[in-house]
Chain A
């Protein structure tokens, strides 16, 4: 199998459900207050706070972010990646002041309750923290490296960019998700990493990650990590039937498989 097909685990990135407008000119829009004014760590992070945050979430957030934070009109919060930052004060600011230029409005609760929401939102996005993998993470790391996963995935800034960064995937994602991503990569592909096949009128076919698209053009990152741009007038067809560039590792030796999951679970990020 060619190396470029060794595109590893499709672990989801933040997937804004709306085609969000890029926030710009926050100052002009009277946007968020400086984060520096907010406590650096959440003073309300006990289990009771998380539970109260859960109730508040149902009231104020579930409408757009889904009852289980799975997203909808708003972003998927189970992914544990946040466009406006995932540190406590950053999450606080997003909830307290809203996100200008999006439908994310300021949440009208008390300051203490904002912190409880922060606690719950972090819980939603850190499923891996409460799970311990049965395998051997050190052995798993060796398998990960020899299989070529690093060609496409980065861990702590080392590795490729064709697949999602895995630096903190063990915090954000539970064991079940990690195992499924290895065995069935196409089960859930973050929109920023969807593979497409562009069939040109010339007859050539180009495969790559879809970076953007409108009715006039499409932009890809090809398996060689090159940008590729095509005008739709030169395109015969765009195929979506193979959404993952990454192959399945379901046939991996069961111990290696379990060890790789354990290695991924051990990746808790730089925090």
Chain B
């Protein structure tokens, strides 16, 4: 471990130790006050990113750079499914709650992995998810768990019994080219905030808030302005009706200003912008919304008129950091388009952007227009396919969680360096009707582009530590494939993650040195969490269709 501990590090470590020691099993209910102070309960994991700030940082420090080599498998949860396991479990005082594809919920003894109860939601045969029948997790308030479903329902479940309390349909999942909901909800005050997916299917995006008691919808923010609203003119013709801009990952929340931060997806059609001239607001953007009303406070669009499927649905990371000599309240955002952005989260002002992977599309940022990107010509998808564009279709970052450690003050990103081809397809009207020869639908509606046979070593992944104030990359740990899992950092000065080949690893958070590995041999499509069970720190991460849980020997 580094001997150059600065005072802040030592203080934070001390606080973490105290917090660990003072933790007593409070059990349910999880009040909103407890959610606000989730970092005071490091033994629990109370929401998708652990805290409202989106750090995915655990203050537990039993597992350290010194002893992580003794980390061993404690238990496994066998999912016995074949879909990607993207869930982030919640842990409340010794009980783990997790979703399993498609939309099942399990309550487990967090010390042993033994099942307490199971709830299974049956989706209709036809669902319109883009990339697997996945679900990324739950939210909790009081004694109630919240999950959204592939067929666009929000469901409230009693955390003690697994019984269904209410169920609300968000939207007709068969409308347009098909809607789905795959992300983990976020509870703020008495509301559960839920996003939706369908950016590849010509949907019209929105973000919803529901009453946690009744399931009644309290507000909806349309991510595409409706006629008469500001920025409606950023869509040519009728393209606004099918413009995508979904909200399929989880946002963050700043209680100080009661502001919800949420990212939006690509516009539709993904790779063909011919009939949607304009900036296509609020696609590929971060939205700052009033959490009580859903009213827009500000927005910043990372990729105007996107043609590369560069969703901006990453988990927002809220950090106070020094920028050009002054402390700023910022939002840190490693984007799918390959740039790491720093914005002022109080007003959306662009502060800086730095490429963290190879990129070819951007020639700088216009500060007169709040950091609007200057576009390099010739980077649009072509009918025959172009291999001249970096990052690739799945981006430099994707939906996988980033992590921020207040100890190192680094932002950890599991980035993708990937060679791909972008192809412009014919556009069809989106529909979920079964296609016929006469009625050819969907080809343009759901074009993922094609990737010819690039050699595997032309693409790779890298866990990196970014200094948010400068965008400088402080260290890099390379892995052989572009990853689909995220990173978690801990007060033990460790960064945990897993690769597509199933190598689960712990890195020294200060240096990036790899200190421990485990060959799970199942692809990691999720991100680790850490919590206490019987006073011992555990680390859980999905790999293949298993949740693997580790503890010190």
Q: Which residues of A contact B (CB under 8 A)?
A: 15, 17, 19, 21, 23-26, 28-29, 31, 52, 55-56, 58-60, 62-64, 66-67, 70-73, 76, 100-103, 108-110, 113, 188, 191, 194, 213-217, 240, 243
Contacts and interface: CB of A to CB of B under 8 A. Distances in A.
Contact of B449 (A25, A70, A72, A243): A72
Contacts of B425: 62, 67
Contact of B82 (A15, A59, A100, A217): A100
Interface string B104-131: 0000000000000000000000100001
A19 B501 contact: yes
A98 to B, nearest CB: 10
B440 A55 contact: yes
A51 to B, nearest CB: 9
A208 B480 CA distance: 19
Contact of A216 (B83, B434, B519, B523): B519
Contacts of A73: 448, 450-451
Nearest to A191: B456
23 contacts: A23-B82, A28-B81, A29-B80, A29-B81, A55-B437, A59-B435, A60-B435, A60-B443, A70-B450, A72-B450, A72-B452, A73-B448, A73-B451, A108-B434, A109-B435, A109-B436, A188-B453, A191-B456, A214-B501, A214-B503, A216-B503, A240-B455, A243-B455
B243 interface: no
Given A19-B481, A28-B80, A72-B448, A52 B437 contact: yes
Q: Which of A194, A214, A240 has the most CB of B within 10 A?
A: A214
Given A59-B440, A76-B453, 12 more contacts: A29-B81, A58-B443, A64-B448, A72-B448, A73-B448, A73-B451, A102-B82, A188-B453, A214-B502, A215-B480, A216-B519, A240-B457
B434 A21 contact: no
B450 A101 contact: no
Contacts of B126: 108
Contacts of B80: 25, 28-29
Contacts of B441: 59
Interface in B239-281: none
Interface in B489-507: 499-503, 505
Contacts of A70: 450, 452
Given A21-B82, A21-B523, A215 B479 contact: yes
Interface in B430-483: 434-437, 440-443, 446-453, 455-457, 479-481
Contacts of A31: 82
A103 B448 CA distance: 12
Contacts of B451: 17, 71-73
B501 A215 contact: yes
Given A103-B132, A113-B436, A216 B455 contact: no
B61 interface: no
A15 B519 contact: no
A19 B452 CA distance: 15
B370 interface: no
A70 to B, nearest CB: 7
Interface in B65-92: 80-83
B129 to A, nearest CB: 9
A196 B200 CA distance: 38
Contacts of B195: none
Contacts of A19: 481, 500-501, 523
B544 interface: yes
A216 B480 CA distance: 10
A63 B443 contact: yes
A100 B84 CA distance: 11
A214 B523 contact: no
Contacts, number: 108
Contact of B519 (A23, A103, A214): A214
B360 interface: no
Interface string B187-217: 0000000000000000000000000000000
Contact of B442 (A59, A67, A72): A59
Contacts of B448: 63-64, 72-73
B517 interface: yes
A260 B522 CA distance: 42
A59 B499 contact: no
A217 B452 CA distance: 27
A21 B543 CA distance: 11
| Cβ-closest 10 pairs across A and B | A101-B82, A72-B450, A214-B501, A66-B450, A29-B82, A100-B82, A59-B440, A215-B503, A72-B451, A108-B434
A55 to B, nearest CB: 5
A255 B43 CA distance: 76
Q: Which of A56, A64, A216, A240 has the most CB of B within 10 A?
A: A216
Contact of A109 (B434, B446, B457): B434
B418 to A, nearest CB: 12
A25 B455 contact: no
A76 B81 CA distance: 25
Contacts of A188: 453
Contacts of B499: 214-215
A59 B429 CA distance: 12
Interface string B124-144: 001000011000000000000
A149 B422 CA distance: 39
A100 B80 CA distance: 12
A207 B131 CA distance: 37
A64 B522 CA distance: 23
Contacts of A217: 519
Nearest to B80: A28
A214 B480 CA distance: 7
B82 A25 contact: yes
Contacts of A191: 456
B215 to A, nearest CB: 29
A215 B517 CA distance: 10
B448 to A, nearest CB: 5
A213 B447 CA distance: 30
A21 B480 contact: no
A36 B82 CA distance: 23
A62 B437 contact: no
Contacts of B481: 19
B434 A110 contact: yes
B173 to A, nearest CB: 14
Nearest to B133: A105
A23 B81 CA distance: 10
Contact of B453 (A15, A26, A215, A240): A15
A138 to B, nearest CB: 34
B437 A56 contact: yes
A52 B436 CA distance: 9
Contacts of B522: 21
